[in-house]
Structure 1
Amino acid sequence: MTYTAEKIDIAVIGGGHAGCEAALAAARMGKKTVLFTMSLDSIAMMPCNPNVGGTSKGHLVREIDALGGEMGKNIDRTYIQSRMLNTAKGPAVHSLRAQADKLKYTSTMKRILEQTENLYIKQQEIVDILVEDQKIVGVVTNRGAVYECSAAILAGGTYIRSRCLTGECIEYTGPNGLKTASELSESLKKLGIELRRFKTGTPARVDARSIDFSKMEPQHGDEIIVPFSFENKEEDIKREQFPCYLTYTNEKTHQIIRDNLHRSPLYAGVIEGTGPRYCPSIEDKVVRFADKERHQIFLEPEGENTTEMYVQGMSSSLPEEVQFAMLRSIKGLENVEIMRIGYAIEYDCIDPQQLKHSLEFKSIEGFFSAGQMNGSSGYEEAAAQGLIAGINAVLKVNHKEPMIIDRSEGYIGVLIDDLVTKGTKEPYRMMTSRAEYRLLLRQDNADLRLTEKGYKAGLLSEERYQKFLAKRQAIDEELIRLKNAYVGTSQKVQDILNDKQSTLLRSGMALSELLKRPELEYDDFKEVDQTRPELPKDIIHQVMIELKYEGYISRQLKQVEQFKKLERKLIPDDIDYDEVYSLRIEAKQKLKQIRPISIGQASRISGVSPADISVLLVYLEQKRRNNKNVES
């Protein structure tokens, strides 16, 4: 029996990182939003690694913040260690990473949701999606309550028909033993949505009191803290940090694993789903990299008020006694006690090629999907998709054009375009190498790239927007000033250059040219720069990158313009690819399946060659001319 509970604007199915961002965006944009979660205690839960950010993932978090999302602010409130990664390399790959206090991260995000106007949270399992005339009309709970809605966002994470595996033990649960959503998959299949089976895993959690840290290398946080949120300054969030520790596996560890491979669900054929290539289990690493004598293992605290530590690099689904043996073979862990055993988890997700770039299903109007449901992995990838889905659900209800971030505008654009255009055969992980314009898409300039979009969507306050405009103006003015500020060949200038082992000047030079030298920094000339203004560090940082990488940036901007030209060549919705006779059969099949909106997107589809694109361009041009002749 069902009954009508109430009518709402937006239903969000799932309270993980995607669901939280989606629900917050929808509610903040003025829509009555209900977030349905299997457990109120699992909102924004971190069932795997206790950190936010990292290589390329830090870019996503800063972009989320620039658009008006919450993840960056929440990790700034709850981090226990912060580090900027890859600082020995260029600024394109600098990535912020912070260890989180897991319980505090969850409880703080839950409080934010509870205090948000228009947002309601309900501990209910959604078992059915109601669709009429290929349009979403409501969702049904396991107790028979019908919530009529104008849009819905599927953000089920790894809870959809999930099961956890440790050795021969199989538990039909979600992460951390929480309830699995067992009925929703059938509803999705009835709607014609294609599902697939993916797998991920997590390592054991161990008791810090049983670890000999003196045998390990401490890993400390940075002295200078860079916030994730552009609204925060270092002094707002600086606090005492907690160290992580580095140790290594050894030949004994590897032998224990090899001797028990037959008991691993992964190698015994019990696991059906495809696992993440870039985050393999320890047994997978030992098999795939048999030549390596050791693998890095990081011990990371799970929070300020717990002795639980996360064993980064030791994800495993081996039996419990084997996990004990392999952990105790590691230096510093000889007497370790396990508090939570590691496990693999299998779950249902969708083929993301069924989605538009707005993350709306092509076949069902008003129905969106975000996060690990779309075949991605990671909290950050999930949160980014959730934010975009939430924004676009509201725009859909308001009969407005969706917000689309393209590959030249953000890592979020790369992430979504990869998923909906190329699809994924394994859990998708964001990497800097996936972004072809990564020098333009740095984590430090995410606000300059995306704040305007967040403001137009209604997620950023007027005050924040005005501060952003002032920052952008200050950067532009300083770049102009440096181009017109000249230094001569005075002894003071030559002494500075000599001290920095830089070539001496033979004549005057603009500071903008001088500062392009890699060995020179902005502050080096403060004593001779008479018109120098007082500027914040973030503005100086932007100015220096613009100067030092001007040639490379200019080259990438030209590449972006070529990219944009292909993106602007739109493909009609009603195109019949069977009429394009010179297209190869594989290309026709792929184009029919994905229905790309532009030549640019079509060119990125696997199986569509440059020759196919040329044929398609000729066909579209002929079609355009024929239509023009008919009209005239």
Structure 2
Amino acid sequence: MILFEKKYDCIVVGGGHAGCEAALAAARMGASVLQLNLFLDNTGHMPCNPSIGGPAKGHLVREGSALGGEQAEAADNSAMLIRWLNTSKGPAVQALRAQCDLREYADHFLLAIESQKNLDVRQELVTDLWVEDGVVQGVRTKYGYTYAGRTVILAPGTYLAGKVYIGTESFSSGPLGQIPSLELPASLKKHGLEMERIRTDTTPRLHLDTLDLTSLQPQGSAEKPLAFSLWREGAVHEGYFCYLTRSTMETHDIIRENLFRSPLSMGWMEGAGPRYCPSIEDKVIRFPEKESHLLFLEPVSRGNKEVYIQNFSTSLPLDVQTAMVRSLPGCEGAHIIRPGYSIEYDYVNPLQLALSLEVKKISGLFCAGQINGTSGYEEAAAQGLLAGINAALKVRGEDPLILSRSEAYMGVLVDDLVTRGTKEPYRMLTSRCEHRLLLRHDNADRRLAPLGRKIGLLGDEKWNSLLARWRRIDGERERLEGTRLPPSDQLNRELAALDSAALREPALCADLLRRPRVPYSLISHFLPGREALSEDEGHALEVEIKYGGYIDRQQRQVARLEKMEEVLLPADIDYNAIQGLLAESRQKLDKVRPRTLGQAGRISGVTPADIQLLSIYLNSLRRRRPCEGTK
């Protein structure tokens, strides 16, 4: 092995969504970074549906933008259409979703990587970790090089011992057509990491010219300018559509008749598949009473005629896939360009990670993305961003950035993984977040941008633009709280159109805005003087005022819960010394090694009685060793 002449602060293994965010974050924070990617053309690759966002996922993208990440920029730069989801529901679950051009998205990340100061990129296949005395020293590659690094971030996606299944055919592979990483998983096991198997599925891709879209319902982009990024103006996108279709009883009959040819039914695959994005054969088996399932035909690029079938992932044989596809309305003459398939791969049990995403037993080694058992580009990018930040902070000798469950969806994501683990592909959902009214799309900047500024990811230009935005919103709120709007015939006609009571006497603008269905735009129209806020700023102000009572109540709940989060557990605590703990609880506490009493309470199988015993034990420790273990 040849030792490369330069030692890096951080080595990132992988060039997907997690790897790119990790490399960019660490480099932008001043660390010297080497990114090793087994195939540079796959940088920022979207092997599944090229869409970004959706409920909870869109929140992650917006939070990444507030911290100083890149995914929001890549999504906005490549969007073919974008729209709000869940608009009939409350602001906590409303989120953006964009259909992106997969090539433009990947090109954005590749250019960002190759242009970034402090960041070297190289096409190499990592085969081995270099670890001495429990501390990572670097990596070794297929081409005979050893690279030294003070920290290493593993973000290899689905490539670890990847195996693709299409009907009765199976072969070692990364995402279809790519080489897998076969030696690195063995190295991770050699160094004591517990590895498990998991799987994900994808759908057939169709040729646009073989589809009849005239009978299908189109779904276009929003008519108003929208963007994920906090740092750019929204855009209106035209010319591209998704089309709604449905499976039929004929589709379901074809699936049932061929289940014996499914690798899943034959028991060939070890790993669990995605619960919240099941294959079409899973849906037919689990919901036999349903006559059809909603599907979407979605474009993947401006530069080709490939169409993705959303909600139609499958691993059945190609001839069966052809029959299934041609049973769908609008697809009777469809030609399949790429078959659907399942891919099974190794992942690291995330219970072995700290909240910083650092491996507990190997100092300086971080894991991010699908190697931690997650699914989705957004979940991967969020973990990559946090891992890159924490690797750079470790090099600086500073404490890691750990986001709480009440601060960010990112905090919920990481806490779920390292506290509860996962046996199936983990997907971020709004229902996983107990404080989701506090973690909205519209306030991601308030929650996280100060942290991005503190660690060095937000420069003066971005920070000053945020300060100006906050001054405008805060100033307008002060004006609404102190200004009364007199009744008028025109105002009352507008209120009547909204099924809102007429004004009989002057009313505070803020009180008027608290009424259901009354928007900020209506009030600003009747207020003289100051220029109205932008639509995005007005929406943020409207949510703050209209839902203020609910927000205050949730903040009080968080304050009560945070008392348990403030109780730190000693790193060397001996759970066997605590009398009365259930054997299962003792085992799980020792494996997870929670950081706080609150985190201990979220471990599956640990009971409230266990937490009470643990609290009593900590109090006894305090009496013997004053203040140790608590803030």
TM-score norm. by structure 1 comes to 0.97
Over aligned residues, Cα RMSD in angstroms?
1.5
Query: Which amino acid in structure 2 is aligned with residue 332 of structure 1?
Result: G
The answer for the alignment partner of 1:529 in structure 2 is 527
The answer for the alignment partner of 1:539 in structure 2 is 537
Distance between the aligned counterparts of 2:620 and 2:328, measured in 1? 68
| Correspondences of 1:476-625 after superposition (within 5 Å) | 476-489=474-487, 493-526=491-524, 528-625=526-623
Kept after mapping to 1: 8 A contact 2:513/2:523: no
The answer for the alignment partner of 1:128 in structure 2 is 128
Change (3 A) 1:497 1:209: closer
Kept after mapping to 2: 8 A contact 1:487/1:493: no
Distance between the aligned counterparts of 1:502 and 1:340, measured in 2? 54
1:123-161 per-position Cα deviation (integer Å, ceiling 9, x unaligned): 101011011111111100012200011000000100000
Kept after mapping to 2: 8 A contact 1:207/1:337: yes
Distance between the aligned counterparts of 2:508 and 2:117, measured in 1? 53
1:235-265 per-position Cα deviation (integer Å, ceiling 9, x unaligned): xx43434001111111111111001101000
Kept after mapping to 1: 8 A contact 2:350/2:373: yes
| Correspondences of 1:339-354 after superposition (within 5 Å) | 339-354=337-352
Kept after mapping to 2: 8 A contact 1:358/1:403: yes
1:160 paired with 2:164, answer no
Give the stretch that moved more between structures: 123-132 or 101-110.
Answer: 101-110
1:441 paired with 2:439, answer yes
1:92 paired with 2:86, answer no
The answer for the alignment partner of 1:30 in structure 2 is 30
Distance between the aligned counterparts of 1:7 and 1:596, measured in 2? 33
Query: Which amino acid in structure 1 is aligned with residue 54 of structure 2?
Result: G
C-alpha deviation, 1:473, in angstroms: 2.3
Instruction: Tell me the secondary structure at the aligned position of residue 443 of structure 2.
Output: helix
Distance between the aligned counterparts of 1:294 and 1:492, measured in 2? 49
| Correspondences of 1:101-120 after superposition (within 5 Å) | 101-120=101-120
The answer for the alignment partner of 2:334 in structure 1 is 336
1:411-455 per-position Cα deviation (integer Å, ceiling 9, x unaligned): 000000000001111000000001111111011211111101111
C-alpha deviation, 1:491, in angstroms: 5.1
Distance between the aligned counterparts of 2:616 and 2:304, measured in 1? 65
The answer for the alignment partner of 1:16 in structure 2 is 16
Distance between the aligned counterparts of 2:367 and 2:544, measured in 1? 37
Kept after mapping to 1: 8 A contact 2:222/2:236: no
Query: Which amino acid in structure 2 is aligned with residue 135 of structure 1?
Result: V
Change (3 A) 1:133 1:501: same
Distance between the aligned counterparts of 2:205 and 2:197, measured in 1? 26
Instruction: Tell me the secondary structure at the aligned position of residue 150 of structure 1.
Output: strand
Change (3 A) 1:3 1:464: closer
Change (3 A) 1:479 1:588: same
The answer for the alignment partner of 1:271 in structure 2 is 269
Kept after mapping to 2: 8 A contact 1:199/1:344: yes
Distance between the aligned counterparts of 1:508 and 1:261, measured in 2? 69
- How many correspondences in the alignment? 628
Change (3 A) 1:193 1:524: same
The answer for the alignment partner of 2:81 in structure 1 is 81
Change (3 A) 1:110 1:508: same
The answer for the alignment partner of 2:233 in structure 1 is 233
Query: Which amino acid in structure 1 is aligned with residue 233 of structure 2?
Result: K
Change (3 A) 1:614 1:36: same
C-alpha deviation, 1:476, in angstroms: 1.9
C-alpha deviation, 1:176, in angstroms: 2.5
C-alpha deviation, 1:3, in angstroms: 4.1
Name which of 384, 387, 403 aligns with 1:386.
384
The answer for the alignment partner of 1:203 in structure 2 is 203
The answer for the alignment partner of 1:409 in structure 2 is 407
The answer for the alignment partner of 1:141 in structure 2 is 141
The answer for the alignment partner of 2:285 in structure 1 is 287
Change (3 A) 1:624 1:493: same
Distance between the aligned counterparts of 1:42 and 1:488, measured in 2? 61
| Correspondences of 1:151-230 after superposition (within 5 Å) | 151-230=151-230
Query: Which amino acid in structure 1 is aligned with residue 77 of structure 2?
Result: R
C-alpha deviation, 1:508, in angstroms: 3.3
Distance between the aligned counterparts of 1:361 and 1:618, measured in 2? 29
Distance between the aligned counterparts of 1:177 and 1:628, measured in 2? 60
Distance between the aligned counterparts of 2:492 and 2:294, measured in 1? 47
Instruction: Tell me the secondary structure at the aligned position of residue 430 of structure 1.
Output: coil
Kept after mapping to 1: 8 A contact 2:524/2:532: no
Kept after mapping to 1: 8 A contact 2:313/2:341: yes
Change (3 A) 1:322 1:498: closer
Distance between the aligned counterparts of 1:13 and 1:389, measured in 2? 12
C-alpha deviation, 1:574, in angstroms: 1.4
Change (3 A) 1:47 1:491: closer
Distance between the aligned counterparts of 1:168 and 1:244, measured in 2? 32
The answer for the alignment partner of 1:48 in structure 2 is 48
C-alpha deviation, 1:314, in angstroms: 1.2
Kept after mapping to 1: 8 A contact 2:473/2:533: no
Query: Which amino acid in structure 2 is aligned with residue 604 of structure 1?
Result: R
The answer for the alignment partner of 1:472 in structure 2 is 470
Give the stretch that moved more between structures: 596-605 or 538-547.
Answer: 538-547
C-alpha deviation, 1:5, in angstroms: 4.8
Query: Which amino acid in structure 1 is aligned with residue 192 of structure 2?
Result: G
1:400 paired with 2:398, answer yes
The answer for the alignment partner of 2:259 in structure 1 is 261
C-alpha deviation, 1:85, in angstroms: 0.5
C-alpha deviation, 1:528, in angstroms: 4.2
Change (3 A) 1:183 1:212: same
C-alpha deviation, 1:121, in angstroms: 1.2
Distance between the aligned counterparts of 1:598 and 1:328, measured in 2? 55
Kept after mapping to 1: 8 A contact 2:226/2:236: no
Change (3 A) 1:611 1:531: farther
C-alpha deviation, 1:488, in angstroms: 3.7
C-alpha deviation, 1:507, in angstroms: 3.9
Instruction: Tell me the secondary structure at the aligned position of residue 213 of structure 1.
Output: coil
C-alpha deviation, 1:494, in angstroms: 4.3
1:451-473 per-position Cα deviation (integer Å, ceiling 9, x unaligned): 01111111111111111122222
1:16-63 per-position Cα deviation (integer Å, ceiling 9, x unaligned): 000000001111111221111110111110000111111210000011
Distance between the aligned counterparts of 2:335 and 2:495, measured in 1? 58
Distance between the aligned counterparts of 1:555 and 1:563, measured in 2? 13
C-alpha deviation, 1:531, in angstroms: 4.6
Distance between the aligned counterparts of 1:554 and 1:456, measured in 2? 27
Instruction: Tell me the secondary structure at the aligned position of residue 623 of structure 1.
Output: helix
Instruction: Tell me the secondary structure at the aligned position of residue 6 of structure 2.
Output: strand
Query: Which amino acid in structure 2 is aligned with residue 219 of structure 1?
Result: Q
Distance between the aligned counterparts of 1:410 and 1:241, measured in 2? 35
Query: Which amino acid in structure 1 is aligned with residue 478 of structure 2?
Result: I
1:54-107 per-position Cα deviation (integer Å, ceiling 9, x unaligned): 121000001111111111001111111111111111111111010111111112
Instruction: Tell me the secondary structure at the aligned position of residue 617 of structure 1.
Output: helix
Instruction: Tell me the secondary structure at the aligned position of residue 91 of structure 1.
Output: coil
The answer for the alignment partner of 2:70 in structure 1 is 70
The answer for the alignment partner of 1:247 in structure 2 is 245
1:490-517 per-position Cα deviation (integer Å, ceiling 9, x unaligned): 5555454445432234443211112100
The answer for the alignment partner of 1:301 in structure 2 is 299
Name which of 408, 417, 420 aligns with 2:418.
420
Query: Which amino acid in structure 2 is aligned with residue 453 of structure 1?
Result: L
Distance between the aligned counterparts of 1:50 and 1:138, measured in 2? 33
Change (3 A) 1:72 1:528: closer
C-alpha deviation, 1:2, in angstroms: 4.6
Give the stretch that moved more between structures: 382-391 or 437-446.
Answer: 437-446
Change (3 A) 1:500 1:258: closer
Instruction: Tell me the secondary structure at the aligned position of residue 81 of structure 1.
Output: strand
C-alpha deviation, 1:343, in angstroms: 0.6
C-alpha deviation, 1:625, in angstroms: 1.8
Kept after mapping to 1: 8 A contact 2:249/2:291: yes
Name which of 314, 318, 337 aligns with 2:312.
314
Distance between the aligned counterparts of 1:331 and 1:238, measured in 2? 30
The answer for the alignment partner of 2:39 in structure 1 is 39
Kept after mapping to 2: 8 A contact 1:5/1:146: no
The answer for the alignment partner of 1:355 in structure 2 is 353
